[in-house]
Structure formats: structure tokens, C-alpha cells
């Protein structure tokens, strides 16, 4: 019985080693066009985007690795003081305040580059179409914009 458990454990570890890996690196985030002003909110935003890329990357074929350099982020809307001295409010008018992101990416398999590119993501019509993310999501417009780029670049993620 012990041998069988060890064998199953070994097989699951080997399968994990072959799974896709996503690495997200923020290049000079202090120069990004638009992130929250409060340091803890900036960190939270960057963590949220990193986790989203990693979640999408879980659908890549085993053995493929994706490295993403985020070069700029411009969130939907504009930050405004809320007058209470706490968190800022993000006001969205649907005009020239659309979300945008600049990425460089490299997809590799077995150490060989399969695809790479420079991507300028934006969603100028973010306020005019149905968003699939709930209102409780912190960055629904940005997440949907990333999803659309992912679908065009790597295909629809398997769920």
C-alpha cells in the first residue's frame, strides 16, 4: 500500500512540474500612467492583475511558460478625492477615460520561444458593452480587457 501511495504522489509531482507557469513582472510601476494613489491600493491592484494573469495561464498547455512584462497601466476612470480623507473614488464617465495596458510577453516551451510580442491593450468602448464581471470585482473593465486580449492571443481559456 505504501508503494502505491508513493507512486501516486510521484506521478502528481511529475504532472505539476509539466504544468504551465506564468511570470508577471512590473517594469517601473512608479511610472505607470494611472494606478491608485494609496500605496496599499497600488499593491492590491498589481497583485490582482498578477493573479488574473496566473489564473488565465493555468489553461495553457502543460510545459508552456509565459513571461509577461507589464510596461504601463491606465485604469478606467479617474481618481478623485472623496472628501472624507480616506480612500479615493474612481469616477468613470465612459469618455476618454478607458482602460489601457502595455505588455511584452514571451511564450516558451522547453526553453524555446513559441510566441512573443508587444501588446497595447485598450477598451475605448468599456462603458458601452456588457461586462461579464460582477460589480463587486475591483477592476472589472481591466479584467475583461485582459480576457479579450488573452482570447485573441492564446485562445479562449479552458474552464
- pTM of the entire predicted model: 0.79
Q: Residues 133-159: pLDDT tens digits?
A: 887 888 999 999 999 999 999 987 655
Note the pLDDT of residue 12: 39
Q: What is the 3-state secondary structure (H, E, C) of the chain?
A: CHHHHHHHHHHHHHHHHCCCEEEEEECCHHHCCECCCCHHHHHHHHHHHHHHHHHHHCCCCCCEEEEEEEEEEECCCEEECCCCCCCCEEECCCCCCCCEEEEEEEEEECCEEEEEEEEEEECCCCCCCCCCCCCCCCCHHHHHHHHHHHHHHHCCCCC
Q: Residues 7-48: pLDDT tens digits?
A: 433 443 344 445 679 999 999 999 999 998 888 989 999 999
Q: Residues 79-98: pLDDT tens digits?
A: 666 655 556 656 566 666 88
Amino acid at each position: 500500500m505504501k508503494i502505491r501511495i508513493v507512486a501516486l504522489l510521484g506521478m502528481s509531482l511529475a504532472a505539476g512540474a509539466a504544468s504551465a507557469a506564468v511570470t508577471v513582472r512590473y517594469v517601473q510601476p512608479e511610472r505607470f500612467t494611472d494606478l491608485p494613489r494609496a500605496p496599499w491600493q497600488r499593491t492590491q491592484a498589481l497583485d490582482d492583475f498578477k493573479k488574473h494573469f496566473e489564473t488565465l495561464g493555468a489553461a495553457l498547455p502543460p510545459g508552456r511558460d509565459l513571461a509577461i512584462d507589464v510596461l504601463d497601466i491606465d485604469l478606467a476612470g479617474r481618481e478623485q478625492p472623496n472628501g472624507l480623507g480616506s480612500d479615493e473614488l474612481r469616477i468613470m464617465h465612459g469618455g476618454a477615460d478607458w482602460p489601457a495596458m502595455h505588455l511584452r510577453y514571451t511564450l516558451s516551451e522547453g526553453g524555446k520561444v513559441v510566441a512573443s510580442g508587444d501588446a497595447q491593450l485598450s477598451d475605448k468602448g468599456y462603458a458601452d458593452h456588457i461586462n461579464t464581471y460582477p460589480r463587486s470585482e475591483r477592476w472589472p473593465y481591466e479584467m475583461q480587457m485582459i480576457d479579450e486580449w488573452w482570447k485573441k492571443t492564446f485562445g479562449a481559456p479552458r474552464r
